[in-house]
Each structure stands twice: as structure tokens, then as C-alpha cells.
Chain A
Amino acid sequence: MIAALTGILALCGAPLFAVFAAAALLLYAHADLDRSLIAAELGRLATMPLLQTLPMFALAGYVLAHSNASRRLVRLSRAAFGWLPGGLAIVALLACTLLTAFTGASGITIVALGGLLMPALLADGYGERFTLGLVTVGGSLGLLFAPSLPLILYGVIAGQISPEVTVDRLFLAGVLPGLMITLLMAAYGMLEGLRFRVARTPFSPRELGAALWAAKWEVPLPFVVLGGIYTGKLVISEAAVITAAYALAVEALIYREIPWRRLSGVIRESMVLVGGILVILGMAMAITNYLVDQEVPMLIFDAVQRAIRSRVSFLVALNLFLLAVGCVMDIFTAIVVIVPLVIPVALEYGVNPTHLGIIFLANLGIGYCTPPVGVNLFIAGIRFGRPIISIYRATLVFLLLLLAALAVITYVPGLSLWLAE
């Protein structure tokens, strides 16, 4: 009864951390456990060093999003790829992917880049529906590339259950699936470019040089960070600190696009995200603690096993479940709450937990743009002042493509595991 009431409150917009806290308080009272143990679980955040990478990357992402880095990024990729058929569409994809990889939270990509890309794409002659779909879906591309926050969060949580999962391996596992999605989208953009007979900008080495020069302080950042992470030269915690310090130095000291006075506001905004995620994580850890104690994952497995025999049908069911979750819940909460329950079950079915991470993120990323309640749809509707129905229509083809990519990612584990192993 109380549980049902709490669920309804959650759907009505009560903060999720309070909903999970209520659940934890009820469960602990039911099991005669001392309530102070819930606070102890929250306090455990202080003893998980990998989590310290979250505020660092979030800070870097928000600082970049608030400066003119996105402008320079678009100019640079336009100079480099604008001559291709569908050039500007590809530019938009790459810019969204890179910014989302660094900001992790996809809403901010739409806000920071959408206003820049939408008019440019329309002016170039791309159709309204395609353009709207592209900038909306663009907000959830790039989740599979380092240093995406959801990927780190999955690594932290999964690593506690199954030690073979590490953030470094997840970063490697995400590369090929991420590239596949990017290429698929780029191919669609090219087709549309040809269909709308968009004029191509001729390639100009001079403009490329000028664009490179304008972005000379930012261009090294992805190379240092991604290069460092992917080659193993930088430990992830070091990469996080270097990224934050570098982004701060470049945008606040060199370009001075974020004056010191505004900096504290940007810090606060990014920490609102981090605090919001981590306080939910703390409550979810308290619940998980109880559930594992009661062997609930095994009960779930027993129940699931009666209905589902093979690994393939388990994966199909998992995909459907995660897509549904993704359209009502944000990616961070979904990871924090569902990963601890699903991993033990998936392991019993012989699913590799690193591969599972990529499946999770691919699914939840799509859920962001799935009607009726995908978060990105609303953000785009508000950002571009369009009715939500037209956003549904605009994202339809993109969704179908993403679902096809998801099927490949799910049923070809090698795509994720080849680089990771």
C-alpha cells in the first residue's frame, strides 16, 4: 500500500532520491535494521575513489558547454568535413557526439549545440523534419565514448559485483559500437544531403587552418584525454583531473569566455547534476544492500528462468525492458537502480558484463528519444519551440536506425569485446 503510494508519487514528479530513500527507510524498518545504516551507505561514497572522476568530467563538460568551444568545434568540423555530401549533417553529428562524450548528460548537448546547428542546417537546405530529428537524437549520441559519465558510473557499480568490469575496458568496448552508430547516422545524413540537393562547400585549406588556429587550445584536449585513456598512458582518475584543470585553464584564463564571476555559477550547475546523481546512488546502495542480503537477485533469476530459457531470448527481453525504462527514467538513475539487479541474472545467462554495459548504454540512450516521454524530446520541443508531436515524427527514422544498431550491438558481442579483450 505504502509502496504503491510511493510509486505514484514518483510518477508525479517527486524527487527520485526521496522516493528511493522512502523505500530504503521502509525496507530497513521491515527487516529491523538500524536506519543509521542507510546513512552509512551514503557515507560510503567517500570511500569510492573512482566516483571522484564524475565531478571532474562534469565540470569540464559544463565549462566547455558554457564557453564558445562549441562554436569553434562546429567551425573546425565544418572546415574539415563540410565538403562531403551531407557535410553539415555530419558536422552536426560529430559535434554532438564529441560534446556528449564530454558532458555525458545528453540534455546539455541539445541546449548548447542545437541553437547553433538548427538554423545552419535549415539555411543549407536540409528538410525541417530531418534537421529537428538530427539535433534531437544528436543529444544522446556519444554516450559510448570516453569519458562519458554514464559509462564511468556503470563501471563503478558493475565493478563491485563483477571485478572483471573496469572503466578502462568499458571505454575500449564502447569504441566500435559507438563508431558504428556514428557511421550509420553519417550515412543517413549523406543520403539526405543528396536528396535535398544541399550545395556543398568546397574544401578550403586556408579555412581549415584558420579554424584549427582559432581552436588551438581546445584541439589538444580530446587527444590528450582520449589518447591517454585509450593507450593506457593515463589512469582514468588522472585523466579526469587533467581534463578539468585543462578546461578551466583554457576557458577561464586563456579565452576568458567564462569570467571568474560566472565560474562559480557554472561549477554550481555542474555539481547540481553530480549531487543529484550521487545522492540517488547513495540511497540505491542502501536498497541494493538490503536486496542482496535477502538474495533478491537470485529470486529474480529463478522467476526469469522459468519464462526464459536461452541467452538470446534473455537479451531480447532485456532490450525491451531497458527501452521501456529508458523512456521514463534518466540514464543515471536507471544505471544506479537496475544494474545491481540485472548483472547477477545476466551472468547466469552467460552474458559478458562488459558487453552488458554497452547494451545498457545503447538502450538507455535510445530511451532518451523514445515517445511518449523520452527526456530529449521534451528538451528539444522546448529549446526549438516545436509541439511535441512534430518532434516524435522528426525522430522516427533516426529511432529505427538506432534500433537496428542496437540489435547488432546486442547480438554481436564481438563488436564490443574485440578491443576490450
Chain B
Amino acid sequence: MRAFRKLIAAWSVAEEAALAVLVVGMVGLSGAQIVLRNVFKTGIPWIEPALGNSLLWITMLGALAATGARKHISIDLATHFVPARPKAALRAVTDGFAAAVCGFLARASWRYVTFMKEAGDAAFPGVPAWAAYAVMPAVFALIAARLLARAALALAEAARGAGAPPAPAPDSLSPANGAKPDGRADA
């Protein structure tokens, strides 16, 4: 169990580090592009596609982190008006549903990646397009796994009943109300 916890903590650090590298890299690359364009009247052609693909990676890793922090955008009327125990059951249902959908998405995007591999295009020099797009099936599979684990936990909680609900209810309302140390990945 302890080893498992460690693994999860290490994973969370890796996820955060990957996002930080991507974002700081984007700032650096586009900054360089601006200087090159305006001062030296030139540019590096691979920067544009690299930035575009970074955005796709940020989108996917951001979505993965949002799953961990329970901060996916949702409508979420229920969290405010439903008592704790049925709420856990409800969470098990919605998480299970989302996990299933993500499973299908992983398969669909894997198909897309194999098509791209056959086509053999390059995202930018040295990097084939399929490798850049491979982030989609990988992340959707991870999200599915994460949601599935959480659905199981919620189910256990609903069955057990009087457990303190660990879900930060206000946070799941909107991804936009940060300013406090956000919850670590909980599954």
C-alpha cells in the first residue's frame, strides 16, 4: 500500500513537471520567435508546428490533471442539493460513465494514430505526426483508469455510508476558483 502511495505521489510530480516544461517551453519558443521575427526579420519554421503540438499536449495533460483534481468543467446541480451518501453513489455512476466514454475515446484516437502512422506525415522535422498525436489515446486511457478507480472508491463509500465525503464539493463547480493549494490527484 505504501509503495502504491509513493507511486501515485511520484506520478503526480511527473505530471506537474511535464506541464511546467511544456508551458515554460511554449513561452520560451514563442518569445524566441517574436524576437527573431521583429528584430532579425527571420524565423525558425519548425517553431509554429511545435507550438501547435505543445498546445495539444497541454490540453491532454491539463485534462488529465483536471481529472485528478476533480476540476473538470461540469454542471453539477446535484453536489449542492443532494446529501452525502446518495451523492457518493451518484459520483460512482457519473465517474463510471465518464470512464467508459474515455475508454471509447482512447480506442477512437488510437485508430486515428494508426492511420497517421500509415500516412507517415511529419509533425515537424524529426517528429512523425503520429507520435505527437499519440498523447490522445495515452491520456484518454489514463483518465479512464483514474475515473474507474475513483468510481470504485465512491461506490465503496456509498456502500459504507457514514464516511466523511472527501470530495471538495465547491471545487468541482468550476475549474476557475483556484487561489488555494489545489487537491492532489486522489486516484
Could you tell me which A residues sit within 8 Å of B by CB distance? 9-18, 21-22, 25, 34-40, 42-43, 45-49, 51-52, 55-56, 59, 62, 65-66, 103, 105-108, 110-112, 237-238, 241-242, 244-245, 248, 263-265, 267-280, 282, 328-330, 332-333, 373, 375, 378-379, 382, 388
Within the assembled complex, what's the spacing in Å between the Cα atoms of A333 and B176?
A: 13
- Cβ 8 A contact of A244, one of B27, B74, B104, B136: B27
- Measured CB to CB, the closest approach of chain B to A96, in angstroms, equals 14
Which B residues are in CB contact (< 8 Å) with A275?
A: 58-66
Contact indicator per residue, chain B 54-74, by CB within 8 Å of chain A (1) or not (0): 011011111111110101111
Distance (whole angstroms) from the CB of B130 to the closest CB of chain A = 10
Select which of A18, A36, A40, A105 is within 8 A of B97 by beta carbon. Answer: A18
Chain A residues in 8 Å Cβ range of B115:
36
Given the complex of chains A and B, what is the CA–CA distance between A39 and B102 in angstroms?
Answer: 12
20 contacts between A and B (CB under 8 A): A10-B74, A18-B101, A36-B108, A40-B112, A42-B56, A45-B56, A46-B55, A46-B132, A49-B48, A62-B178, A111-B179, A245-B27, A265-B182, A271-B19, A271-B58, A272-B66, A275-B58, A328-B75, A329-B75, A373-B80
Bound CA–CA A65/B179 (angstroms): 7
Evaluate contact between A267 and B108: CB separation under 8 angstroms: no
Which of A43, A47, A273 sits near B136, CB closer than 8 Å?
A43
Q: Is the interface of B mostly helix, strand, loop or mixed?
A: helix
Question: In the complex the two chains form, is B51's CB within 8 Å of A52's CB?
Answer: yes
Total interface residues in chain B, CB < 8 Å = 75
Q: Are A9 and B94 in contact (CB under 8 A)?
A: yes
Indicate if the CB atoms of A13 and B78 lie closer than 8 Å. yes
Name the one of B26, B34, B108 contacting A38, with C-beta atoms under 8 angstroms. B108
| Stretch of B3-11, B157-165, B166-174 at the chain-chain interface | B166-174
Picked from A14, A108, A237, A238, the residue with its CB within 8 Å of the CB of B98 is A14
CA distance A241 to B78 in the complex (A): 39
A-B residue pairs, 4 tightest by C-beta: A275-B62, A105-B176, A107-B177, A39-B109
CB of A17 within 8 A of CB of B136, answer no
- Nearest chain B CB to A7's CB is how many angstroms away? 10
Instruction: Check if B145 is an interface residue, CB within 8 A of chain A.
Output: no
Q: With A13-B75, A45-B59, A107-B174 in contact, do A35 and B23 touch (Cβ < 8 Å)?
A: no
Write out the residue numbers on chain A whose beta carbons fall within 8 Å of the beta carbon of B27: 56, 59, 241, 244-245, 248
Nearest chain B CB to A287 CB, angstrom units: 13
CB distance from B138 to the nearest CB of A (A): 12
Given contacts A9-B97, A108-B176, A275-B65, contact A35 B111 (CB under 8 A): yes
Check B175–A105 contact: CB distance below 8 A: yes
> Using Cβ atoms and an 8 Å threshold, which residues of chain A touch B84?
none
Q: Which residues of A contact B60 (CB under 8 A)?
A: 275, 279
